[in-house]
Amino acid sequence: MRAAIKVVSPAPRFRGFGAVLVNVDDGRIVAEAKGGDGPGTNHAELNVLRNFGLLHPDGEALHKTVLVTTAEPCPMCATCAIFSRVAGVAYGTSLEFLIGHPPTRMPIRISMPQVVATGPLPNMPVVGGVLREETDPLFM
Ligand SMILES: [Zn+2]
């Protein structure tokens, strides 16, 4: 998680969206990305999954990674993680926290666990609140 935080540090106010992919075999960080302005799809999770996936098109390498992200993935990014078949997801700040701290815009209020529960991988490991005491300030 500290690597994901470092990706966005120093974070613009309210915009601390950073993500890394961690190889499950050896714990190496194999990719990193941050979210930003511009197109509404410029999200850290989508960026890191897409960028790494383009470098490893067979998909096998993605299956051996955990997505670690500073905030709970939105439904678009949660679905991207499921379609990428990563080994799991860990996030810091919760969707509820983001909703409670405008001006972070969160137009679709469907949680990561809700998306996972309704998808093809309902047992995908998802852990929230990881180092939230360090990620929450990125969105204040
Ligand atoms: Zn997203």
pLDDT tens sequence across 51-83: 999 999 888 999 999 999 999 999 999 999 999
**If we measure between CA atoms, which residue out of 54, 84, 42 comes closest to residue 66?**
84
Q: Give 113 Cα–ligand 1 centroid separation in angstroms.
A: 14
Cβ < 5 A residues, ion ligand 1: 43, 74, 76-77
Helices 44-55 and 75-84: crossing angle, nearest 10°? 20
Ligand 1 center to 74 CA (angstroms): 4
Residue 105 is predicted with a pLDDT of: 66
Residue 81 in contact with residue 73, Cβ under 8 Å? yes
CA distance 6 to 17: 10
Return the domain boundaries, the chain. Answer: 2-136
> What integer pLDDT is reported at residue 33 of this predicted model?
97
What's 64-111 look like in SS3?
CEEEEEEECCCHHHHHHHHHHCCCEEEEEECHHHHHCCCCCCCCCCCC
Express each pLDDT in 20-36 by its tens digit. Answer: 999 999 999 999 999 98
Kindly report, residue by residue over 110-139, the tens digit of the pLDDT.
999 999 999 999 999 999 999 999 999 998
- The percentage of residues in the chain with a pLDDT greater than 90, rounded to a whole number, is 78
What's the pLDDT at 12?
Answer: 74
Asked if residue 94 has pLDDT above 80, the reply is yes
As assigned by CATH, the class of the 2-136 domain is alpha beta
pTM of the complete model: 0.94
From ligand 1's centre to the CA of 43, what distance in Å? 5
Confidence (pLDDT) at 37: 78
Cis check for the bond before 39: say yes or no (omega within 30 of 0): no
Question: Could you tell me the distance, in angstroms and rounded to a whole number, from the CA of residue 112 to the centre of ligand 1?
Answer: 10
Q: Give the pLDDT of residue 83.
A: 95
